[in-house]
Structure 1
Amino acid sequence: MAEDTGDGSTAEMDDYETLMSTTDAELLKTAWRNEKAAPEILQFQAPLVKRAKEQIQLMEETVEEYEESGMDPLTVSLYQMDLDRAHFLLRSYLRVRLQKLEKYMFYIWKNESLWSRLSDPEKMFVQRCIDDMEKHLEETVLSKLPDNYQSVRRQSVISEEDDMVPEPQLDTFIACKARNRFVSLRLADSERPLEMERHDVSFVLYKVIEDKIGADIDLV
């Protein structure tokens, strides 16, 4: 009898994990974790958010229909738990993005690359926040200062950069794991690449992996 090496079961397990990781609930959870761990704002997951909203609406209608039809309370509670979980994931994802928008609004607004990552409602929110903040500061503080110090974003007119605008710290180490079965990362201070297998966790500079997040790498 041939000896079972276990390679078949390992491959089946990998295929199962891949399938489970592609469900919208898992994708939304991953997007939330990536957004929460990344120092800068990431690309808005528009198709995923749209599908999540549609699924939530369908689940709400299903729960309401089951309650009205006298469905078994246990069954209704299970559907309600799924609905609550979907609400939590979507709200958490949108909330962490909102926190970044509020903290780095001026930096995002002047950076074309980051600005392009926002949804249309997020762009409207940032623009409205900037307009309201500038108006408030000008009316309450800046108008009472000397002309050289009436900038919202610069300490004085001699400043060459927006030195009063908070910026995300990209030179920071973060924990990440390989999404695919094999990932090779080129490190700036090493001649040898960092090789990671699926689910391997490493601490690396954010700048090294920022263009791989959501594709080859997920944050932890």
Structure 2
Amino acid sequence: MSDTEEDVIERSDDEGEPMTASEVLQKLEEAWITERMSPTLEQNQSELVDCMLDQINQMAENLKRLKKHDFRLAIHKMEIDRIRYIISSYLRVRLEKIERYAHYLLQKEAGITDESMANLTPQEVTYAKDYASNLESHFQTLVLQHVPENLRGFDPTKMSVKPNLDSYIFLRVKEETQGVLIDDSGEGRDEEVDLEEGSQHLMRYKPISHLVQSGAVTLI
């Protein structure tokens, strides 16, 4: 679709080069799949989401200039619906993880000093705090007020659910990476592996989590 293939938008890649809307959409699709496949919450891609929301608004405006029976109308509407589905699914998956790991994520986020490394957006932090607070209030009302006073001590961190970072994930290598340390390969020793560009692997998430963050690998 021309609206997403040719338009150059202000969002730039890591090297500062302008990106077309189709390139932003491709990155958003990768972020969406990675978020779905990852055992934990990945770094937020709010800039990509905002860019594509602006783009689909522009695309919707462009459709108004097409005639009612123009065959391109149905095709472009389907493309807009597809992009909206990707965005809504991406945000829904993130909200589900925030609810599941609220206390863990807030503790982790509290130790981050560089905002560029934050996994949660400010809005997601607010949501996580409200959700955790409501959960604690519900537990207090439902359980603690009905037990003896000496048993009412409550540590919310003890009810914190943590993601399984040792779970296995499928990945595709985008950038060749040498000497990735895979700790305790099952034989009681560490192992180094070289990841060739374009290769696909089944590996534990934890040893390659930093490569997911940097974009050197993408989950599939």
TM over 0.5: yes
Displacement of 1:71 in angstroms is 4.5
Give SS of 1:177's match: strand
Larger % of strand: which? 2
- 1:24 alignment counterpart: 24
Quick check: 1:134–1:152 contact (8 Å CA) kept in 2? no
Structure 2 unmatched runs, 5+: 1-18
Give the Å deviation of 1:204. 1.3
Helix, strand or coil for the counterpart of 1:186? strand
2:47 corresponds to: 47
State the SS of the aligned residue for 1:212: helix
Letter of the structure 2 residue corresponding to residue 25 of structure 1: L
What does residue 103 of structure 1 align with? 100
| Residue aligning to 2:177 | 183
- 1:152, 1:65 → 2: CA distance? 61
The answer to whether the 8 A contact 1:30-1:218 is kept is yes
Rounded to whole Å, the distance in 1 between the matches of 2:215 and 2:133 is: 36
Aligned counterparts of 1:163 and 1:136: Cα–Cα separation in 2: 16
Distance change (3 Å), C-alpha of 1:79 and 1:191 = same
Q: Deviation at 1:170?
A: 0.7
1:76 alignment counterpart: 73
Tell me if structure 2 keeps the 8 A contact 1:137–1:152: no
For 2:152 and 2:71, the matched residues in 1 are separated by 63
**CA distance change for structure 1 residues 151 and 90 in 2, over 3 Å: closer, same or farther?**
farther
Partner residue of 1:147?
149
Q: SS of the residue aligned with 1:203?
A: strand
For residues 34 and 173 of structure 1, what CA distance do their matches in structure 2 show? 13
Corresponding residue SS for 1:175? strand
Percent of paired sites with the same residue: 25
1:152-167 mapped onto 2 (5 Å cutoff): 153=155, 162-167=157-162
After TM superposition, the score normalised by the length of structure 2 is 0.77
The answer on 1:205 being equivalent to 2:200 is no
Q: What is the Cα-based RMSD across aligned positions, in Å? A: 2.5
Per the alignment, residue 166 of structure 2 pairs with 171
| One-letter amino acid matched to 1:139 | T
- Would you say the 8 A contact 1:175–1:204 is kept in 2? yes
CA gap of 1:119–1:133, structure 2 versus 1, over 3 A, is same
Choose 1 or 2 for highest CA Rg: 1
The one-letter code matched in structure 2 to 1:88 is Y
CA drift of 1:30 comes to 0.2
Residue-by-residue CA offset, 1:46-73 (whole Å, 9 max, x unaligned): 221110111121122222342xxx2543
TM-score with structure 1 length normalisation?
0.77
2-side partners of 1:116 and 1:45: how far apart? 11
Shift of 1:133: 1.7
Q: Which AA in structure 1 matches 2:197?
A: R
